[in-house]
Structure 1
Amino acid sequence: MALRPTGNASKQVVDQDTWPNVIGEARTVADALPDLLVEASHVANSVTAGWHGRRRAGPGESFWQFRPFNMGEPAKRIDWRRSARDDHLYVREREWEAAHTVWLWADLSRSMVFQSRLSRASKRDRAIVLMLALADMLAYTGERIGLPGITRSFSDRKAAERIADALTHMGKPDAFPTTAQIKRFSDVVLISDLLDPIEDIARWISEVASTGAKGHIVQILDPIEETFPFDGRVEFHDPEMGIRLTTGKAEGWREAYQQRIQRHRAEIRDIARRAGWTYVLHHTDRAPAEPLLVLHSALSGSAEALAKGDS
């Protein structure tokens, strides 16, 4: 549950109408995607250099590429249909079936629409930018990616566009993706504010870990969600549960609130550490390239990525 300030506290929030009328006032995911795709491409280009993928030819069922036929190879390898298009002989190569797969998921639930005056973007928009930028980077290096429960894993240079298109056809957004498609040796990247009950978070991490996959968590928070700079009478509203709570002296809650959210964050980090997962804390007033650099290190198999990362 995530309580958001309304009423007298609306002066401290950039979009005071975002809550509770999310559908009527906030931009829809489809409306935001064109701009977010452009931003994601710029972010991806800034961190892609030097990142090498693991895709290569080998035994498998999925088509990878055509290459020129080399003298001495068995003639049965020639793809005669492709070769008939010009004066050269070509071989159809298939992708190594153990190619690396990365499953991506951005929490697009209602709590993610929040944006304060201290932030550069809403948590939802930042999560989408990070996911699309990561998809772009992975596609550039030939990795397979997918949205669990939404798409199959695929390898495509236009992966970010395909992911964006899939988002426009999503039904009710879920905070956590299904684990049905996740297999051993794959990676799962979850981008969310993770303001869910700690039991739900631990349960999902346990389910993914039981598949043999490795996980990477990016917790996105608006800076106001940690500083709690409210004074006087403030009404808080939970956009997902519909709960409203009013306090006459919000400043009296500050210390207890800050201790609770710090404890919640520490519990998530500890659960991730025990599972051998990467944990990154990202604030929406910081550059989106920062968490991507940590993910880059983690997905490249760097040992340093298992250390705590805050941005």
Structure 2
Amino acid sequence: MAAETKHQSGEIVAIRRADGESRTLAASLPRLVLEARRIAANVIHGLHGRRRAGAGESFWQYRRFVSGEPSQNVDWRRSARDDHLYVREQEWEAAHTVWLWPDRSPSMAFASRGARDSKLERGLIVTFALAELLVAGGERVGIPGLMNPTASRSVIDKMAQAMLHDDAARASLPPSFVPSALAEIVVLSDFWSPMPEIRTMLAGLSASGAHGTLIQIVDPAEETFPYSGRVEFVEPEGGGVITAGRAESWAQDYVARVALHRDEIRNETNKLDWLFSTHTTSRSAAELLLFLHSGMMVSKGSVRSSTVKVGRSA
């Protein structure tokens, strides 16, 4: 989705990042980590619970004692205040595993002049910030094929170190693995992969009953196709180069193809009761973080929606 033209020198610089930025990730990680922590601190503070009864440490509510329950469940101090027996219920804060997959493939390094970050930077910032929030809430967070689930408060540092020492080819989609039925999976990618690959990924990740969310992170130029004149479109992951004599004449077909691709992804996620949404890098990272964190709180209550969108969606 990168483009190169003699008449758009500003775009040339952005496109070159698709080839070079991934090799300088080590230099940019400290800044991304700081930005992630700043955003996480601004979005939410403190622990979260599931607002349902269960085994936990935080008080939720008193309820009336039901005949047949063990007598040790009675809160005698509260019951002494009137003529009824009461049970003290705790908030269920049992940790479960959340798998996060930030796409670090070469196509994610692209950024046009209208973007706040490259797609890679945005994906990493949100991944780090979300991990920080989840661990603060008592969850375990891992990266498929890269980092085992952990509840460590230094989860961001562990993620960054794992990425820095990762010598494997940077795939667009997560590797095949079998998450637990209670696991949550979040995949942040531009999802320009062919639909058969996306279907295979979804089939594998959902086979055990796990729930998930797919977030398509795109650059503003990939949304609107603002090109005109003679333009060379460079596919940064080995797809070659395509030259357009009058790029503006491609815009209508391009937008229609993007809409069709998204509809196909959404149809697949709807079948599985997964979420699919889009996010444009010209928008706020905090907006996407809040959406993801709030969506996970909803999913813990076994209520999911497939209609919420973040950013602009064709």
TM-score calculated relative to the size of structure 1: 0.80
CA deviation digits over 1:250-271, x for unaligned, max 9? 1111111111111111211221
Give 1:56 deviation, angstroms.
6.7
Give 1:178 deviation, angstroms.
2.1
**Any unmatched runs of 5+ in structure 2?**
58-91
Give 1:45 deviation, angstroms.
1.2
Determine if contact 2:46/2:137 at 8 Å carries over to the other structure: no
Aligned equivalent of 2:253: 256
Determine if contact 2:230/2:247 at 8 Å carries over to the other structure: yes
Q: Does 1:13 align with 2:16?
A: no
**Any unmatched runs of 5+ in structure 1?**
59-95
Give distance in 2, aligned partners of 1:230 and 1:263.
Answer: 21
* Number of residues of Structure 1 aligned to a counterpart in Structure 2: 270
Q: Does 1:298 align with 2:286?
A: no
Aligned equivalent of 2:88: none
Match 2:283 to one of 269, 282, 286: 286
Name the Cα RMSD after superposition.
Answer: 2.4
Aligned pairs for 1:162-201 (under 5 A) are 162-170=158-166, 171-201=168-198
More displaced stretch, 235-244 vs 297-306: 297-306
Give 1:308 deviation, angstroms.
2.6
Aligned equivalent of 1:213: 210
For the residue of structure 1 that corresponds to 2:36, the secondary structure is helix
Give distance in 2, aligned partners of 1:16 and 1:150.
Answer: 29
CA deviation digits over 1:183-216, x for unaligned, max 9? 2110011000001101111110111110211111
Q: Percent identity?
A: 37
Give distance in 2, aligned partners of 1:186 and 1:39.
Answer: 27
- The letter for the 2-side match of 1:132 is F
More displaced stretch, 110-119 vs 300-309: 300-309
Aligned equivalent of 2:2: 4
CA deviation digits over 1:143-174, x for unaligned, max 9? 00111111211111111111111111112111
Mark the CA change 1:216 to 1:308 in structure 2 (over 3 Å): closer, same or farther: same
Match 1:29 to one of 25, 28, 33: 25
For the residue of structure 1 that corresponds to 2:117, the secondary structure is coil
Aligned equivalent of 2:143: 147
Aligned equivalent of 2:309: 309
Q: Does 1:137 align with 2:133?
A: yes
Give distance in 2, aligned partners of 1:14 and 1:51.
Answer: 45
Give 1:99 deviation, angstroms.
3.0
Give 1:291 deviation, angstroms.
1.5
TM-score calculated relative to the size of structure 2: 0.80
Give distance in 2, aligned partners of 1:281 and 1:17.
Answer: 22
Give 1:17 deviation, angstroms.
5.5
